[in-house]
Structure 1
């Protein structure tokens, strides 16, 4: 069993590599060199290898026999399918949160909503990305269904890179904040069905939104070279 110190170090390493993937420092399909990562984090290759195995179990990384690990790469059809499931997870969390959120959790949601507003006003998509994550995580926790929240977070992690890219599409941040506003009002009113409907539409990528997301992928790949 890992000691608390080793466990926190392992968790920190996993979160750091996850973050590099989310912000595009490590791109989908990119080979993950254990030696390079070990040098970057000042550790041996063993904890790096263990971390990559953890990330593979989460679907963030793919480990191929004799070829090492690469960042998981999602095709167009898989992206659509995963966002469809994410939309339903969010809808379920929202429906329950509207009924079960405590007053303190509602205040946390309002604070996160204000942080999103500030980032949107500053037109800073990267700041908005992190505020947006907090906003959604508060809703997951507010469902008071630990299993559902865990599943929503797991899929959220796999889609982090793509959710971030969406926010870089023109006018998406302001549109996202406007959609959040409706969600907040529905939750505060205790309207579970409306909350679910609004969150489902907020997450779904289809039509022009999907085309914009796919168009952003080559740009992200080029920026990372």
Structure 2
């Protein structure tokens, strides 16, 4: 990989807030800061509440705690660099730093989608097969779903990061974004990027579409199951299960 990369530049420049007027920069900086603090603290509280309350040790809340953890990681990957650029007035980010950020952003974004799909499947089992919920959604299956999601997300991120690292960057090194994203980086490359674009379109597209289809199918089946319930009270009870696990789950 190192032999094919003949880059003439050694770092990228993240424009971030620099294109905005000074007063807008300060406002955006404050919004970014508040956003990351609320996101991190809120999700940490969710994780703490689930971890300390034994009544919440159910598959649904297990997936929710993992989703909160991913959200914390995602926010911590991109926003601190934006804040550092504004405070230190240094827009430079090294190749290794940029590709590391790219890797984690890809991994956490795909992981987020996978967890939403897993949670949709969990609600499908809870509503459409309530008598078999405890036997279907076992601790082993829940762990397998989460671990499998992490593995697929990490492999996808590793694929795109390695393909990006083999490219050459000859002159332009300005990224007109707040963080290192695949598309703006590809535009800066002076080498052939067809393989990268193909992998983004096929692999990343597949990993984005598959969870969406799973979520859509799960909730369509849930809606059909709920509509077959004759009483209004029964329908409301079934719908409420979408937001809270069944007793003993």
- Looking at both structures, which has the greater relative contact order when contacts are Cα pairs under 8 Å and sequence separation is at least 6? 2
Say whether the fold is shared (TM-score over 0.5): no
Larger Rg: 2
TM-score (norm: length of structure 1): 0.31
TM-score (norm: length of structure 2): 0.29
